Structure formats: structure tokens, C-alpha cells
Amino acid sequence: MKHNFGAGPGILPQYALEEASKGVLNFNGSGLSILEISHRSADFEAVLKKAIDLVKELLHVPDGYSILFLQGGASMQFGMVPFNLLEEGHTASYLDTGVWSSKALKEAKIFGNVEVVASGKAVNYTTIPTDYTVSPNADYFHITSNNTIYGTQLSAFPKSPVPLVADMSSDIFSRVFNIEDFGLIYAGAQKNMGPAGATLVIVKDEILGKVNRKIPSMLNYQALIEGGSMYNTPPVFAIYVCMLTLEWLKNLGGVPEIEIRNKDKADLLYKEIDRNPLFKGTANAADRSKMNVCFVMEDPTMESAFLALAKNKGLVGLKGHRSVGGFRASIYNALPISSVEILVETMQEFEKSHD
């Protein structure tokens, strides 16, 4: 039995894996694999429709917003957002909370001016800046809701005088939020939603069509919306697994219920980190992520011994990102609290053996 704390592609619900495995051999009793049916078949059109309907239902997406399943991950959105929203000569505002924010704003500079309203870089992104103002003249304001590498998360979303754009790759569907506060949300699937290869975009229709440049069709949100996520062949299997994962989420009680479970998991683990004299958290307490829990040992020379013990217990994916070191326990939606309990027990066992 493995306990998958990987940062992404990360753990998926067993239900989704079992159904997907069957579908690869025989989808819906059709005698064909989900991998070899037409994306224009009634069978797949039903999958795509259901995936979109589940997004709508689970996040309470109101009319006036479009839901897209695309390819290319969040990194493709780093370019597509300014391609579609940032007029030449205009300015977009970015909050810099880590490597991914930095990459996003670097791409925006290809299309216009970028104002970094605040940056956590000087403190290695362990704290999320809160003291900043967004200009009402910016074309949009971009944030990263959760920073996987540093284990920080915006606990509340800023008010913005211009369309708020959020990279929610690593915490979408993990907590309740009000979609009407946002102009555009995007998320690579491979943390809380499905496998690598699908990207969710939710965009308020009225913010589109305002830049003058010509946009290649595959990068043009309006063309993609007109095509109903089928401007060309979509990533059929990845969307299918997203649908299964969202179905699982709905059946267990939706986002409000998973938010409670995620809080319980995070509380349990942070409590042990704070109690156990061998360990300490790396993120500013107020900005701690409920998705990626980053921690180190007071004595870094003990870290490899702890990792070895964890591996023995079937705990995988715990090694921290090289820019922070130590450990990172990603506790995405699909990770059961029992896995966190075993991690906590392992930390306690390690503490006792080093008394």
C-alpha cells in the first residue's frame, strides 16, 4: 500500500482509476477503448458535457462564464492570458508569490507592460505579500492561489478593481470560493482534478474580445468557446478521468465537504510539525497551504534517515523541492486522512527513536 504525497501529477481517487482502467479496454460496454473512439461520438460528447456540467455545479459557475477543457497546462495559460487580455502598450498587474507567478509574468512581458504589485522573492516566497494596490488602469490582475513549491496559499482572495485572473492549478476544487470575484481562472488538471494533459479554464465572457491583435485560433479563448472545447480533437482520456474525479467529488459531498476534510488533514499535519521538536514548518504561519505542507528538520543531517523510514512505511513523494529542501507533503483532495495519520505516526516514531 502506497501513500502518495507527490506534488503533481498527484494522487487520484481509486474510483477514477478503476473506471479509467476499465474504459481503456472497453468503454461503456461499447467494445471499444475510450482511447480509440471519435471525439465526435455521442459517447464522448456525453463525457465532455458531463465534465463541464460538473465543473459548473461544483463551483457554482453562473451564466456569463464559459468553461473550457484545453491542453498545454498552466504554462500555456501563462502566454494565452496576456495574448487575449493584455493590449499592446497597456499594463497587467501581477502578484509574485513564487516561481510559477514569475514564469507567468515573464510571458506577459511579450505582449505588454507588467507591473509587479508585490513580491515575496526576498523571503524566498515563504510569505505572501498583502500590502499592495492594484491600479484601476491595469488590463487585469494575476495571482497564483497556491504555491506548491513553498507551501503557501492565499487564505482569502484580494479585491481587484480590474478582472482578477488566477492560476488555481494546485488548489481548485479544494475549497469554496466565489467565482464571480474572478474574470478568469485556469488550472492544470494534474493536482486535484485529473491526470496531466487537460487544463481547465473558466472565463467571464465579457472580458474577452478587447485586444486588437490577431490571435491564433488554438490560443483564442473566443474561438475555443465557439468550438465548445472541440475546436480540434480534445484530450479525450484526460477529460474522461477529470469527469470521473469530479463525479467522485460530487458523490462525497462536493467542495464544502472536501474543504472540511482538507482542513482536517492539514490541521493534523501542521499540529505534529509544530509539536515535534525534530521538525519545523517553512511557510509563514498565516500563509500555510492546505494542499502542500512544507517542512524541514531542525537538524538537516537527519533528513535522509527520515525519508528512508517514510519510504519503508510506503510514504512516497515526500522529498521537498530543491529550492526549499526538506519535505513537502502534498495532501490533495484524493489523499485520505489515513495517509496523513501514518505520516504523523512515522514522525512520532522517528522522534522516539532519536530520543
C-alpha 286: how far from chain center: 20
Count other C-beta atoms under 10 Å from residue 199's C-beta.
26
Among 118, 316, 342, 344, binds its own copies (CB under 8 A): 316
**Site for its own copies contains 39 (CB under 8 A):** yes
First-residue to last-residue Cα distance in the chain: 29
81 grid coordinates: 492570458
**Site for its own copies contains 313 (CB under 8 A):** no
Q: What x/- string results for residues 165 through 204 when contact with its own copies is judged by CB under 8 A?
A: -----------------------x-x---xxxxx------
For residue 302, the minimal CB distance to its own copies (Å) is 24
Q: What x/- string results for residues 2 through 21 when contact with its own copies is judged by CB under 8 A?
A: x-x-xxxxxxx----xx-xx
Give yes or no: 248 in active site.
no
Strands (DSSP E) contained in the chain are: 3-4, 65-70, 91-96, 113-119, 141-144, 146-147, 152-153, 164-167, 184-188, 199-204, 279-281, 292-297, 315-316, 327-330
Task: Tell me the C-alpha distance between 108 and 93, whole Å.
Answer: 10
**Site for its own copies contains 219 (CB under 8 A):** yes
**Site for its own copies contains 89 (CB under 8 A):** no
Beta-bridge partners for 226: none
**Site for its own copies contains 137 (CB under 8 A):** no
**Site for its own copies contains 233 (CB under 8 A):** yes
**Site for its own copies contains 323 (CB under 8 A):** no
Of 61 and 68, CB closest to its own copies: 68
Q: Tell me the C-alpha to C-alpha distance, in Å, between residue 44 and each of 35, 53, 66, 67, 160.
A: 10, 14, 19, 17, 38
**211, 9 in Cβ contact below 8 A?**
no
Of 79 and 325, CB closest to its own copies: 79
CA dihedral 188, 191, 197, 203 (to 10 degrees): -30
Of 19 and 287, CB closest to its own copies: 19
Q: Tell me the C-alpha to C-alpha distance, in Å, between residue 331 and each of 44, 173, 327.
A: 31, 13, 13
**316, 6 in Cβ contact below 8 A?**
yes
Q: Considering 96, 171, 191, 265, which one is annotated as catalytic?
A: 191
Give yes or no: 210 in active site.
no
Q: Considering 96, 100, 204, 248, which one is annotated as catalytic?
A: 100
Of 285 and 308, CB closest to its own copies: 308
Task: Tell me the C-alpha distance between 22 and 335, whole Å.
Answer: 22
Q: Taking each helix axis from N to C terminus, what angle separates 254-275 and 337-353, rounded to the nearest 10 degrees?
A: 0
Task: Tell me the C-alpha distance between 181 and 120, whole Å.
Answer: 23
For residue 63, the minimal CB distance to its own copies (Å) is 28
Evaluate the CA torsion angle 296, 301, 306, 308 in order and state its sign: positive
Q: Considering 96, 139, 167, 171, which one is annotated as catalytic?
A: 167
**Site for its own copies contains 1 (CB under 8 A):** yes
Beta-bridge partners for 92: 114
C-alpha 259: how far from chain center: 14
Q: What x/- string results for residues 67 through 86 when contact with its own copies is judged by CB under 8 A?
A: ----xxxxxx-xx---x---
Kindly indicate which of the ranges 24-32, 139-147, 287-295, 345-353 contains the residues binding its own copies, using the contact rule CB under 8 A. Answer: 24-32
Beta-bridge partners for 143: 166
Of 29 and 277, CB closest to its own copies: 29
**Site for its own copies contains 38 (CB under 8 A):** yes
For residue 44, the minimal CB distance to its own copies (Å) is 9
Kindly indicate which of the ranges 257-265, 270-278, 312-320, 337-345 contains the residues binding its own copies, using the contact rule CB under 8 A. Answer: 312-320
Among 217, 251, 323, 338, binds its own copies (CB under 8 A): 217
Residues recognised as catalytic: 100, 167, 191
Residues of this chain that interact with its own copies (CB under 8 A) are 1-2, 4, 6-12, 17-18, 20-22, 24-25, 30-33, 35-39, 71-76, 78-79, 83, 103, 106-107, 110, 188, 190, 194-198, 214-219, 231-238, 241, 314, 316-317
